[in-house]
């Protein structure tokens, strides 16, 4: 199975901060990666697909980059509604696998 190592597992930041979350794949997955945001009690919501394409309706402060084994999600200026848990998902190889999640908390 492809392991998706997500870091950090938790992060404290302030409104207006720029934050970066990383996912590292145990083997190359080209750009077959998405980023998801989950708030408590809600289903996940896709932010980024194909590693760097912004999902329709998602604010432009979210961006993704990377290819192969290293991927990043960047939030350019944190807003109060961004405090949530973030997951990456690789869909290159079965079984599809998620990163362990990054919990983004208010400092």
Partner 1 sequence: QVQLVQSGAEVKKPGASVRVSCKASGYIFSGHYMHWVRQAPGQGLEWMGRINPNTGDTNYAQRFQGRVTMTRDTSISTAFMSLSRLRSDDTAIYYCARWDVWGQGTTVTVSS
Torsion sign across C-alpha atoms 17, 18, 23, 24: negative
87 binds partner 1 (CB under 8 A): yes
63 binds partner 1 (CB under 8 A): no
Nearer to partner 1 by Cβ, of 20 and 93: the residue is: 93
Structure tokens at 16: 């207006």
68 binds partner 1 (CB under 8 A): no
- DSSP-derived letter for residue 81 is G
Distance in Å from the first CA to the final CA of the chain: 36
**28 bridge partner residues:** none
83 binds partner 1 (CB under 8 A): no
CA distance 83 to 61: 14
96 binds partner 1 (CB under 8 A): yes
Of 23-31, 32-40, 61-69, 71-79, which segment contacts partner 1 by CB under 8 A? 32-40
Residues in touch with partner 1 (CB under 8 A): 34, 36, 38, 43-46, 49, 55, 87, 89, 91, 94-101
């Amino acid at each position: 199975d492809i392991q998706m190592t997500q870091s950090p597992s938790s992060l404290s930041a302030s409104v207006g901060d720029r934050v970066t979350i990383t996912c590292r794949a145990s083997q190359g997955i080209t750009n077959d990666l998405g980023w998801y945001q989950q708030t408590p009690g809600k289903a996940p919501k896709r932010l980024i697909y194909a590693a760097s394409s912004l999902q329709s309706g998602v604010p432009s402060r979210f961006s993704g980059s990377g290819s192969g084994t290293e991927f990043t999600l960047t939030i350019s200026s944190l807003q109060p509604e961004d405090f949530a848990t973030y997951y990456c998902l690789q869909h290159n190889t079965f079984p599809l696998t998620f990163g362990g999640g990054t919990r983004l908390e208010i400092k």
